[in-house]
Amino acid sequence: MRKLLLSIVAASMTLAACNAQSGYKVTGTIEGMPDGKAFIANFDGTKLDTLAKSDITNGAFEFTGKVSEPTGAFIMVVGQRFSLPIMLENANITVNAGQAGLNVTGSEGQKIYDQFMALNMSIQQEQQKLMPEFQAANQAGDQAKMQEIQDQFQKVVEAAQAKEAELIKANPDSYVSTFVIVSGMGQMEYEQLKEKYALLGEKAKATAHGKAIAAQIAKLESTAIGQIAPNFTVTTPEGESISLYDIKGKVKLVDFWASWCGPCRGENPHVVEIYKEYHPKGLEIFGVSLDNNKEAWVKAIADDGLVWKHGSDLKGWQSAPAKLYSVTGIPHTILLDENNKIIAKNLRGDELKQKIAELLK
């Protein structure tokens, strides 16, 4: 009887193993998508890694494969600026996308991800709600109203970020939490990313995405506030080499910008005013351009009256200094003291002026 019972248990275990999902099958439709080629790609924080490919016909597709561990991924279509985030597990997953939105079933992780996306959607909706009012204030030149709207929106962002932190705390070892952090870490400064990473469990930190977050933290640490700014060398408009350390001043402003950047050009008159007022007191500015067209760069310097030192390697977003300082958006400012210690980052407008005034009082 004992041997019979053991045989039944063994048979049941074998049957369960045979019935277990050995890989994933992702089927679905994308409304209005032309025929072509689609693929599923995993994002590791720096690049996309293709996991599976499929034809897409009449909007329908089917991917099959296997992942060693559940992961966040994107369905993308060749030649289209289009991506659908899905939580990929070894399961049968159905994806339907259309005017009604995105519906994913069969993935347990997607249920958690949808909660994160609801927070992101609340921010987007509030931004859309406030944008007409902000644009009207901008056209009227009402700086006080513009600041009021910006403060209002900032409170919405902070509230959503607090809820996101609570979700990560509730799911510390979920691969979904690591995917959400990886997807947004390119826009995060050192302290913010470090705080989010601290919310993860050890299991999550050991995953591929967890390791990518740790690597990004290590990279950001080298240019965090309080660190000595790493030196770099670029070429001036006159064709001479110039390094960050060549610039001498009691306070140094490193200004990453480009001639094609509307917000940068809009900020330039304010920076010119700051320079005129505080250069006699010890302020120096080093403009580092993400241009790849020398003529456009030189013309913008002249047109905007940027009389301080400038340099660029004319590689656009592949700029070596921009990569060194993890610049993902411009204008991007860094304030240094006379010993090249980083004092502050990403200050603009009145905040930038107030900080410089404080340092040079």
Cα-based distances in Å from 205 to 70, 87, 179, 215: 14, 18, 11, 11
Q: Which residue type sits at 346?
A: N
pLDDT (tens digit, 0 to 9) for every residue of the chain, 361 residues total?
433 333 333 333 433 333 345 899 999 999 999 999 999 998 876 778 999 999 999 999 999 999 998 999 999 999 988 889 999 999 999 999 988 888 999 999 999 999 999 988 888 898 888 888 888 888 887 878 888 888 888 888 889 889 999 999 999 999 999 999 998 898 888 999 999 999 999 999 999 899 999 999 999 999 999 999 999 999 999 999 999 999 999 999 999 999 999 999 999 999 999 999 999 999 999 999 999 999 999 999 999 999 999 999 999 999 999 999 999 889 999 999 999 999 999 998 889 999 999 999 8
Kindly report the pTM of this predicted structure. 0.74
How is domain 21-106 classified at the CATH fold level? Immunoglobulin-like (2.60.40)
Would you give the end-to-end CA distance of the chain in angstroms? 91
Q: Under DSSP, is residue 234 helix (H, G, I), strand (E, B) or coil? A: strand
User: Domain residue spans in the chain?
Assistant: 21-106, 110-221, 233-359
Q: Given this model, what pLDDT does residue 7 score?
A: 39
φ and ψ at 253, to 5 degrees?
Answer: -110, 120
Q: Under DSSP, is residue 360 helix (H, G, I), strand (E, B) or coil? A: coil
In whole angstroms, give the CA distance from residue 186 to residue 122: 21
In this structure, the strands spanning 309-311 and 48-56 are unpaired
**233-359 CATH:** 3.40.30.10
In this structure, the strands spanning 251-257 and 283-289 are parallel
Cα-based distances in Å from 239 to 256, 298, 314, 335: 19, 12, 12, 26
Least Cα distance to 249 among 341, 180, 326, 172 occurs for 341
Least Cα distance to 276 among 266, 288, 285, 265 occurs for 285
